Each structure stands twice: as C-alpha cells, then as structure tokens.
C-alpha cells in the first residue's frame, strides 16, 4: 500500500507491507532501470533501495521514501557478478525535467562530473534548469586538464570502477 504522508503534494511516502504468508519474509524494493541516451555502453543496473529482513508473520514492514532525486557518483570494488562493494563519493540534489500547465517544458538539472587522476570522482553544483530532458537530469563530463579526462575505458578499468 502506498500512503502519502501529507494531503499536500507529498514529499515522502510510506510503504506498508503486511506479512500474511504464514512465516517470516524478507522484502526489498528495487529502483527501476533508467532511460539513458547518448554514447552509453555497458550494463545499466537497478539497485535495492530499501530492505526489511525477517518480517514475522502477521506483522508489517514499513518504509518511508522521499520524492527528492539525487545524482550520485562513486566507485566499486569487485565485479558486478560477485556482488562488489559500492562506495558513494558524493550525492547532489537534482531537479527532473518537467511539463507544467500549458505544455511548458522546464529542462532538468545538469550536473558536472569530474574524475581526478583516474582514481576518484566528484560532482559539481547542479545547474537548474540545465539540459535534462522531460523526466530526466543530465550528467556532463568535465575535462579540466588531461589528467581529469574520463572515458568509458577509464570507467571500467580493473583498478577503480566508477558509477553514476
């Protein structure tokens, strides 16, 4: 059941799951696969965004989720197949592109991504409105010097693997 926690435009939702299965259950919510455009290659992953472990029979699991959106960057160790460890370097709030009354489209935020010496990543302050399409925000790679140039090959090298 999805329950707005306010009668105004909700900024948080509470999701309540009542376990009536006859035994304890584990619950997980996954993010949806994003729509990605441009020169992207490689896997696009969905992630678990909330879990409730060992919810007893006849009890409930409750999750509160905000409606704010964030760009994130970080690195992971290991491989996708082995369930590597993700390290989030930075998050910044973003605005998605939207359509208002009268079909006026406002573009979503553009967030600059920098990679320093191919070992760590950072997100700059979002520009809003930016270049994000309807329902989207945009990540822009920033090249401040040759040492900060970032390519797909850099993103999947064996020493440091980045995600956004």
- Range with the largest mean pLDDT of 8-12, 36-40, 106-110, 140-144: 106-110
pLDDT at 35: 66
72 CB contacts (<8 Å, ≥6 apart)?
A: 88, 90, 91, 123, 163, 164
Higher pLDDT, 8 or 104: 104
Q: Rounded mean pLDDT of the chain?
A: 77
pLDDT exceeds 70 at position 145: no
Going from N- to C-terminal start, the domains of the chain cover 1-67, 69-164
User: Residue 159 — pLDDT band, cuts 50, 70, 90?
Assistant: low
pLDDT exceeds 60 at position 46: yes
pLDDT in tens, 49-89: 778 888 999 999 888 877 788 888 888 777 667 767 777 88
pLDDT at 143: 57
- CB hemisphere CA count around 132 (13 angstroms): 27
Higher pLDDT, 98 or 7: 98
- CB hemisphere CA count around 57 (13 angstroms): 4
């Amino acid at each position: 059941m999805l329950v707005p926690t306010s009668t105004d435009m909700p900024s948080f939702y509470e999701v309540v799951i009542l376990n009536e299965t006859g035994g304890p259950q584990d619950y997980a919510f996954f993010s949806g696969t994003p729509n990605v455009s441009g020169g992207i290659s490689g896997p696009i992953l969905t992630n678990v965004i909330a879990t409730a472990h060992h919810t007893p029979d006849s009890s409930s699991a409750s999750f509160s989720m905000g409606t704010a959106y964030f760009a994130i960057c970080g690195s992971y160790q290991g491989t996708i197949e082995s369930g590597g460890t993700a390290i989030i370097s930075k998050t910044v709030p973003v605005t998605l592109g939207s359509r208002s009354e009268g079909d006026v489209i406002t573009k979503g935020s553009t967030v600059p991504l920098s990679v320093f010496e191919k070992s760590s990543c950072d997100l700059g302050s979002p520009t809003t409105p930016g270049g994000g399409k309807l329902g989207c925000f945009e990540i822009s790679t920033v090249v401040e010097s040759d040492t900060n140039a970032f390519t797909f090959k850099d993103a999947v090298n064996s020493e440091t693997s980045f995600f956004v």
